Amino acid sequence: MHTLNLGILAHVDAGKTSLTERLLLEAGAIAHLGSVDRGDTHTDTLALERERGITIQSAVVSFRIPAHGDDDVVVNLIDTPGHPDFIAEVERVLDVLDEVDLVLVMSVFPGFGGQKFMPEVLGKVRALRERGFERHIEMDGGLNAATLPLCAEAGTNVFVAGSAIFGASDLRTTIQGFRASAASARAGARA
Ligand SMILES: Nc1nc2c(ncn2[C@@H]2O[C@H](COP(=O)(O)OP(=O)(O)OP(=O)(O)O)[C@@H](O)[C@H]2O)c(=O)[nH]1
Ligand SMILES: [Mg+2]
């Protein structure tokens, strides 16, 4: 039997608790899908969490995924708070996760296009790199010729750009230009 410690970490209201609930249902661990809006999920159990519809403390739930043969996987799934006031709860979780492949940092408010890049998120990327995080850091939102080098310099290595690419007349040249400017910003940061 394998054990997998999974955590769902994201900004406030991203849908972490709702996703947790869905995974529990799909895995057969619960019979009815709980709802944040009704206040009856399996991980938001504090009275205040149910009343406000937000997660305040991290909570773990476990389910088993049957495998071929006898090697079932037991998943310990941790639902974390997204509100910045409860960041300590999230930091505690980082110590028990088995692996992190990619961290997505949103550089606009999720949900609609055409917003301006929020430079304050660059500090999150730097903090991760300073903590020794070596896997992918992806940045999504407001990336263009001016902001992309700043992200690369901070330590971002995966970039999501929409209007800056699809609004350009020559996609190939635009993408090549972005790649070159990211590479030179990274080289400058290392020097
Ligand atoms: N339309 C839509 N709404 C969703 C989806 N997932 C969650 N929501 C709604 O978004 C709101 C926030 O969902 P939560 O699951 O509480 O989000 P969260 O990331 O756990 O929030 P915090 O724990 O407070 O950070 C609720 O009103 C949900 O009903 C989705 O896939 N689609
Ligand atoms: Mg939640």
Last residue of a domain, one of 83, 112, 135: 83
Same domain, 36 and 111: no
Q: For 146-188, what is each residue's pLDDT tens digit?
A: 999 999 999 999 999 988 999 999 999 999 999 999 999 999 8
Residue 95 counted as domain residue:
no
In this structure, what DSSP letter does residue 119 have?
G
Q: Are 104 and 8 in contact (CB under 8 A)?
A: no
Residue nearest to atom 24 of ligand 1 (CA): 54
Same domain, 69 and 122: no
Domain count within the chain: 2
Query: What CATH number did the domain enclosing 178 receive?
Result: 3.20.20.70
Task: State the residue for tokens 């999150």.
Answer: 124
Same domain, 35 and 75: yes
Last residue of a domain, one of 35, 51, 83: 83
Residue 93 counted as domain residue:
no
Q: For 28-42, what is each residue's pLDDT tens digit?
A: 999 999 999 999 999
Q: Which residues contact 151 (CB under 8 A, 6 or more apart)?
A: 107, 122, 125, 139, 143, 159, 182
Across the chain, mean pLDDT equals 91
Same domain, 191 and 110: yes
Question: What is the 99 CA–ligand 2 centroid distance (Å)?
Answer: 21
Same domain, 79 and 160: no
Residue 64 counted as domain residue:
yes
Question: What is the 1 CA–ligand 2 centroid distance (Å)?
Answer: 29
Last residue of a domain, one of 83, 117, 139: 83
110 — pLDDT class (breaks 50, 70, 90): confident
In this structure, what DSSP letter does residue 27 have?
T
Q: For 97-106, what is each residue's pLDDT tens digit?
A: 877 888 989 8
29/109 Cα distance (integer angstroms): 33
Residue 8 counted as domain residue:
yes
Q: Strands, E, within the chain: which ranges?
A: 2-8, 59-65, 73-79, 102-106, 136-140, 158-160
Query: What CATH number did the domain enclosing 19 receive?
Result: 3.40.50.300
Same domain, 13 and 51: yes
Same domain, 70 and 132: no
Residue 98 counted as domain residue:
no
Amino acid 68: pLDDT: 64
Q: Domain residues for 141? A: 104-191
Residue 91 counted as domain residue:
no
Q: What average pLDDT does the segment 117-131 reach?
A: 93
Question: What is the 123 CA–ligand 1 centroid distance (Å)?
Answer: 26
pLDDT exceeds 80 at position 191:
no
8/114 Cα distance (integer angstroms): 27
Same domain, 19 and 67: yes
| Ligand found nearest the CA of 52 | 1
Same domain, 77 and 108: no
Q: For 67-106, what is each residue's pLDDT tens digit?
A: 766 788 899 999 999 998 998 999 888 888 877 888 989 8
Same domain, 79 and 110: no
158/112 Cα distance (integer angstroms): 20
Task: Find out whether the beta carbon of 77 lies less than 6 Å from any atom of ligand 1.
Answer: no
pLDDT exceeds 90 at position 59:
yes
Amino acid 69: pLDDT: 66
Residue nearest to atom 8 of ligand 1 (CA): 15
Residue 78 counted as domain residue:
yes
Residue 118, SS3 per DSSP: coil
